[in-house]
A and B are shown apart, each in its own frame.
Chain A
Amino acid sequence: MTILYVLTRIVTFFGAVLRTFWEHVACRICKIPVEDARVFKYDELCGHVEHELCENLKESFLVTWLPFTLNFLMGTAFLLTGSYRLFFIGETDSLQTYALVWLGVSCYANCAPSFEDMLTLKDYIYGSKNKVLKVVLSPYFAVTCGSAYLERYSLTFVISIVITIVFPKVVNLLFPVFDWLDQMVY
């Protein structure tokens, strides 16, 4: 599975670089010692930063949340043009369109935290006695945990391609809201 995992990281090169960068930034913010910040290595931490275990929930949350959110937002930004042009209006002749789609897929395929980080987060959330915290963070953890598991088997790549195809259909649900806003403004 490692070879498949690494190959997927190579194919989604830009997303892996971005995620590694955001994880590194999070470690710097939390002053977590970083052992290896290389993007590509032949193990399950390919596309992740190798760092010491987080010492509290805040650190663990930031290290998982920051890369996930930023990659997700940037992937969405790329797909707003890429996916719409390719799958919604059918513009198939432009290299720019394919490039944006590839960037979007790359970002979406590299949102998940590493398995270790996910387990650390789980320990801090469910090891805490604060029930409100558990309830509030459980949905976030569910997404994080699921994506970490999927990434282990390189399924995030497949899922990101599926999301790219249905992306316009999902965003189209917001179009009536945009129309309403447009009418309110004008």
Chain B
Amino acid sequence: MKFTEISDTIKWIIFKGGFSLKDENILNDEKKEEIMLEKASAEKEYSNDTLTDELESLAQTFREELKKAQELTDEEFVEAYADDLGIIPEEELCECCGERRKDKTRGESYQYCSVCRENMKAYPLSVPNLLVSVVLVVVSIFSVVLFCNDFYGYNMMYKAEKAEKENKISSAIKYYDATIDEFSEGNITPKRAYLYSAVLMYETMGNGTDTMTEISDRIDTALSDFAKKLPVFSHIADIQLESEIIFATMQEFYNIIGAEEYANYTSDDKEMYEEIMTKIGALIDKKVSIVSKDGKTTQMHPSNAAMVRFCQYMFAYISENYDDSYQYMLEVEKLEPDYLWLYAYELGIVETQTGDVNKAKELAEAIIKKNVEDPDGYSLYTSVERLNGNFEKATRWADKGLEYSPENAELMRLKAMALCCKGDFEEAKAVIDEALKIQEYAVLYFTAMVVENELGNTDVVESYKTALKEENVEISERMTKYLSGELTALQLFTEGTGEVE
């Protein structure tokens, strides 16, 4: 019989006995106990002896258990009586709440109770993380919108790089310019576009002296003074310096020929010609001044020798001293063979007219190799083939050039000349009329006069003569010979210089 059962029995006995320990009428303790025992034994059929034995046994058990419990350590005590006491060992406690038992159904090493596990499934999202994520999503959408807005500029830059790879330098520069214009509206500086276009412009010098200043400006926009000193950009700094020196050399040349003392110079004045030519030649040993952008510093650099020779070529040409001009142009080629933009076309024309067709072809090939869109190369090829009597080839070269430069009046003129040589005067007229819509200059009118004359349109020829007279342009000697009948159109275009002047 367990201790609790015995205590319950005793309580029942007391209840059933109807005694209240606080009742003053109750008999003394010994008598009370005797009566209780009598009643209990009567109700439960326990004898006194049996009940006494039971109580003694119960007390003995209690003493033994107490002794055992006193011998146990705290941990052993908890372990032995944990269930009775409702205590969970520490290693069994959930590592999250520390209150409930670990859920062993998920494995012996599982660390959490089932309640905490359920709560962990709904672990709240961190508010700072959420805010950061929302902000970044908005920024990413903004970035995509910016890209779409700038896409035209990027596309132009992409086309520029593609054209550059295909040696279409004119198109590449045009696309770089479009990139710069597009981004300048948004106050964005596309430095790569500035830099690459400057390099291409230096290699082709499309617009002469304007190009030289533009090159310098673009390099200044792209690179800081510090960046120009870095080894990776040293060649860019050299390009800038070279273009500034070329420009400064040209300025010195203009200063010489613009001097008041030479205001009345004519090509007949041989003495003055020599004097001016000597002064121009002396620039080779002279230093030119390069002023910094802020105007604070001036540096002296030797002038560009090839440019000096080119200036001498120009002066000799306008003085109609063609032998000298040819020699100076050869000097330019020797000094700076890479400066195709400076000498290749003019030298090629001279070589064509003097008979060195192979040299002219080499120069034409070099021009086209450098820039497949350069009309000068196609013009040279057209002229070479025409002078060689290959009129069909000449027409095809002109057509090829016009594919890249559809509004090049000079190419159209050369094509018209080749068509005249073939006898296709109607087609030549269509071409030359188109050219006159684009541009008007003396040799174009001369060529048009030849075409109209061959078609019998004398009134048109007269109108052209009148127009030229109004502009104080004299009919060239070769044209006069043609118009007087001394030369046929074929002779005009294929013999001697092969030109209308």
> Hey, which bits of chain A sit against chain B, CB under 8 A?
14, 17-18, 20-22, 24-25, 27-28, 31-35, 37-39, 52, 73-74, 77-78, 80-82, 84-85, 88-94, 100, 103, 168, 172, 175, 178-179
Contact = CB atoms under 8 A, between A and B. Distances in A.
Given A32-B121, A90-B193, A85 B130 contact: no
B121 A81 contact: no
Nearest to B112: A33
Contacts of B158: 172, 175
B192 A90 contact: yes
Given A34-B123, A35-B120, A39-B129, A89 B139 contact: no
B146 interface: yes
Interface of B: 112, 117, 120-123, 125-126, 129-130, 132-133, 136-137, 139-141, 143-144, 146-147, 150-151, 153-155, 157-158, 179, 183, 188-195, 222
List the 9 shortest-distance A-B pairs measured between CB atoms, nearest first. A90-B192, A33-B120, A90-B191, A89-B190, A77-B140, A34-B123, A80-B147, A81-B143, A21-B129
Given A21-B126, A33-B117, A89-B193, A74 B188 contact: no
B154 A89 contact: yes
B121 A24 contact: no
A80 B122 contact: no
Nearest to A75: B140
Contact of B121 (A31, A84, A89, A103): A31
Contacts of A27: 123
Contacts of A28: 121-123, 125
Contacts of B195: 90
16 contacts: A25-B125, A32-B121, A34-B123, A74-B137, A77-B140, A78-B139, A78-B143, A82-B143, A89-B157, A89-B179, A89-B190, A90-B189, A90-B190, A90-B193, A91-B188, A103-B139
Contact of A94 (B120, B143, B188): B188
Contacts of A90: 189-195, 222
Contacts of A17: 129, 132-133
A178 B140 CA distance: 21
A100 B123 contact: no
Contacts of B125: 21, 24-25, 28, 37
A80 B143 contact: yes
A178 to B, nearest CB: 7
Given A25-B125, A81-B144, A103-B139, 13 more contacts: A22-B133, A24-B125, A27-B123, A32-B121, A33-B117, A33-B123, A34-B121, A35-B120, A80-B146, A88-B154, A88-B192, A90-B195, A90-B222
Contacts, number: 113
A99 to B, nearest CB: 9
A92 B157 contact: no
A90 B195 CA distance: 9
A85 B188 contact: yes
Nearest to B126: A37
Contacts of A34: 120-121, 123
B130 to A, nearest CB: 7
Contacts of A93: 189
Nearest to B111: A35
Nearest to B117: A33
A89 B183 contact: yes
A184 B299 CA distance: 56
A67 B193 CA distance: 37
B188 A20 contact: no
A109 to B, nearest CB: 14
Contacts of B140: 73-74, 77-78, 103
Nearest to B124: A37
Of listed B121, B192, B193, residue having the most chain A CB within 10 A: B121
Given A84-B150, A90-B222, A24 B123 contact: yes
B169 to A, nearest CB: 20
Contacts of B130: 21
Given A28-B122, A31-B121, A74 B136 contact: yes
A25 B133 CA distance: 12
A78 B129 CA distance: 19
Nearest to B222: A90
Nearest to A13: B132
A119 B406 CA distance: 65
B233 to A, nearest CB: 12
Contact of B123 (A37, A74, A91): A37
A160 B137 CA distance: 19
B96 to A, nearest CB: 8
Contacts of A172: 158
A108 B123 CA distance: 27
B102 to A, nearest CB: 14
B192 A84 contact: no
B155 A91 contact: no
A111 B137 CA distance: 16
A90 B191 CA distance: 5
A14 B155 contact: no
Contacts of A39: 126, 129
A19 B130 CA distance: 11
Contacts of A84: 147, 150, 154
Contacts of B121: 28, 31-34
B144 A179 contact: no
A30 B396 CA distance: 72
Contacts of A73: 140
Contacts of B191: 89-92
Nearest to A39: B129
Contact of B129 (A20, A52, A82, A175): A20
B157 A88 contact: yes
A108 B418 CA distance: 62
A93 to B, nearest CB: 6
B155 A21 contact: no
B222 to A, nearest CB: 7
A22 B137 CA distance: 12
A127 B192 CA distance: 53
B491 to A, nearest CB: 50
A38 B124 CA distance: 11
A89 B153 contact: yes
A75 B143 CA distance: 10
Contacts of A91: 183, 188-191
